[in-house]
Copies of this chain bind each other. A is one copy, B any other.
Amino acid sequence: MFNAIVSAETLQATLDSVGVLVDECKIHLEADGLEIRAVDPANVGMVDLSLSAEAFESYEADGGLIGVNLVRLQDIAGMADKDQLVHLELDEETRKLHISIEGLEYTLALIDPESIREEPDLPDLDLPANIVIEGRDINRAVTAADMVSDHIELGVDAADELFYVSAEGDTDDVHLELDTDDLIDLVAGPAASLFSLDYLKDMNKAIPSDAEVTMELGEEFPVKLHFDIAEGQGTVTYMLAPRIQSN
């Protein structure tokens, strides 16, 4: 059983956060909210999303699992204005999702969850550095790095108490340093890892510029990025595997 009403804005933010990594996903319809975990085909980028029942105007579910075509669902949600309400109702028998937006009813055929790539387990890493940064600063760093390279180094200079971003191209370089004044918070620790810019660019698309993003970093370890959606009633965690440093 699944029957819920949610603002188009919240639904769009939810779908976009996952849609930057995968085209289809499983959605757990838990009693207390939605849960989505997905990994990209190359097993490099992962997402773990929770959207609490409180993020909805009304919400009823009892633990089902559905598979959806995210691209299609994003298109449907995108037809609504941000403040319109979207009604979602699962028809258990036909395995279709009824989506209605002010009288317009869309019947979406679901995908067999078995046919969707297995959900990842986001490992519980105890990473030494913890940076809290505004979404707009991630955007600046990623945009600039993208001009010169296809990978990017994220690190912490524990001595100088600063977070840095660095990208080295064939002729040009990009470097950004943010100290405790520029950051919302910093717990310094030994951290320096290289990442594929393609993935960070995709994740960056889903991060609002005014979001507070908590970044966990280590030395040649994955990075974790956490931020809230739906005014704090949803959380997104991205995890991105490091590239091997080729010094």
Contact = CB atoms under 8 A, between A and B. Distances in A.
A178 B103 contact: yes
A72 B148 CA distance: 10
Contacts of A177: 103, 105
A218 to B, nearest CB: 24
A108 B178 contact: no
A48 to B, nearest CB: 28
Given A103-B182, A109-B171, A171-B109, A79 B143 contact: yes
A108 to B, nearest CB: 5
A75 interface: yes
Interface string A101-125: 0011111110000000000000000
Nearest to A166: B105
A173 interface: yes
Contacts of A104: 140-141, 144, 174-176
Contacts of A126: none
A143 B81 CA distance: 14
Interface residues of A, number: 26
A107 B140 contact: no
Contacts of A174: 104-107
Interface string A19-37: 0000000000000000000
Contact of A140 (B79, B147, B172, B173): B79
B79 A172 contact: no
Nearest to A182: B103
Contacts of A79: 140, 143-144
Contacts of A75: 147
Interface in A65-123: 72, 75-76, 79, 103-109
Contacts of A148: 106
A105 B165 CA distance: 10
Contacts of A109: 171-172
Given A79-B140, A140-B79, A176 B103 contact: yes
Given A76-B147, A79-B144, A103-B182, 12 more contacts: A103-B177, A103-B178, A104-B140, A104-B141, A104-B174, A105-B173, A106-B144, A106-B147, A106-B173, A107-B172, A107-B174, A109-B172
4 nearest CB pairs, A to B = A109-B171, A107-B173, A105-B175, A104-B176
